[in-house]
Structure 1
Amino acid sequence: MDIGTFYKQKIYPNLYAIEQKMTRIPYHHFASVYADKERIRLSDLKHPEIMEIREGEFDYEYFNFCYLHNMLALMIYGFYHGHYPNICVNQGKEDIIQWDWYFKPFIRETTAKRVKTITCRKKTNAYLPTFKDIYSEKELHIWCQWYKKYIHLNKKTSQYVEQEYQQLFSGKQKVLGVICRGTDYLALKPSGHPVQPSTEQVIKACKEYIKRDGYDAIYLATEECKIRDEFEKAFPGKILENKRVYYDDIYDQDDSIAYIKDVHFERENDRYLSGLEYLSSIILLSRCSALVGGNCGGTLGALFFNNEQYQFVHVFDLGLYP
């Protein structure tokens, strides 16, 4: 191995990791201090400026929790530097994820026109939600509080979620929430992401908790019909689900699709509707009595929306894919 290759493969990654860890410290401290304070208002700033977030770490086309957590991290970056964040990613583009598709804006348009505006220089922040945070009570508390104060559903999304909740959970006193990732994740094993449990492992854990605590039903958040069928077989008559269309039929037939999330349906506003259905399923998961499943973006979202209210949480900790 020559010196150049050795530097790129061995030295640089370690230096970058150290730099990120050091850069993270002030933002982490700020997020921790403000976690239990009132929501920051524009009038609270000494020299009010609006920071427009126009780009994220990736080119987002539809909703996922990577997008949401990227935006949340940049909000913290903005507040730390004395600016008031306004999310403008994909503004002016049609049929691509917009913040106001699902969430309330941070600032009124009329107010934004009266205040000096700058553009965010960053695409991400060194301090952002990570998979390991859900095993730390301190980190979990921080993110729950930031969600509670800044991630608010708009009226249309809120009505959709409430309708789903009433249809599925009406009459149920104790519901076990379960999240199960599909075969795309298990087959591709994305490097650095948490190893996912098999469906059999999750079912086994659910049986133990149902026997121990008793549950009226199981709310299952999954993209795959095959997983739903396995749960229905294991727990006949107990499965609640809000999926109308499952992804695995299309995924299994098209070798060009790497991830189930990249499946598209032939319907108007597919990106918006797919994001709405996914977000709703995770919020419903957050309203269950307890949570069981693998560690993934949806699991983080459910825990943060839940705001530390679960009776218990069992998130499999099986290490990371190499």
Structure 2
Amino acid sequence: MTVPDDRSPEEIAAQRMLADPDAIRRRMEADIAAVEALGRGEVRLDPAAGDEAVASAVRSLADRIGFDSPIEAATMSMRHLHELPVAERGPGSAIEAYLTAASRTIAQGQLVGNRGYPEGHRWLTFHRTAREAAGITVALEASVYVDADGSVRLFHFHWPTERPQTPVYAFGGTPERYMDQALCDLRDHETPFDRAMLMLLANALGGPGTTAGHEQRAEIAELVAQRRGELSAYVTQAENYALAVRADRWYAACLYRSALETVFENFLGGAGFSLIDMQEIQDIDEELDDALPEVTDASPAAVPQGIPPHHWWWNTAVR
């Protein structure tokens, strides 16, 4: 009889690397080769050409702009790939999908920042709204640095962090549609677990709880339990975000914490204690309680509409 493996893909990969120390070197070499194969080498332009000319040049070079090094590109793609809509996470490698989405944001997004400095360098910021499933959209931000010598590099690409004036996620569907999508996502183990969590959160926004009936709640609980390893990885990611609140990750930390609260309250109940160590949730809350009061760039506009009042972490961030 085959025993189901409830570990997350991340846990499986990590354990394989621990069992084979040389795997880390091979993975790094593969990541570097993947970045180099994309042809994103050194890119230059005239930094003194003026605001409009520099912005136009950056857009025209979007498919060639990369991070400062292949290792940084690989690291950033692994760290932020799950912030992209599922449809933009593939096909191909994670690095290719991530950089392709970044290029699309630079080429097609709205230029929201273009600031030059006396020293000769310049920062440009682009925002793009991308479609997710079930009537949900997500805002993405690409920041490009132009050095005084004309060299251009991608500085970051992820959810907006500097006082976003619109919701990062906009929920334009219906609770029923979100629930249907959540069930589809959980049944399909090829669909990233984080999107199912997003859909379950969306289903509960603006109301006293989920719109799911008893049978749907029971199926959700069963499906989440079947993907226990991915739930554990989601909790770990929530904790990582909480630890990075002071590094502009306040929105991500609050979003993940709200998704977990929604799933525990509306679907898992006491079963949650058998799936994860609740001490981890307490650790996350303690970190949020400690770090969120120090946040200075949180914007109320970024908070999803309809977040339950008892999700105190949002109010703590945007006080």
Task: With the length of structure 1 as denominator, give the TM-score of the two structures.
Answer: 0.25
The higher-RCO structure (CA 8 Å, 6+ apart) is 1
What TM-score comes out, normalization by structure 2 length?
0.25
The answer to which structure has the higher helix fraction is 2
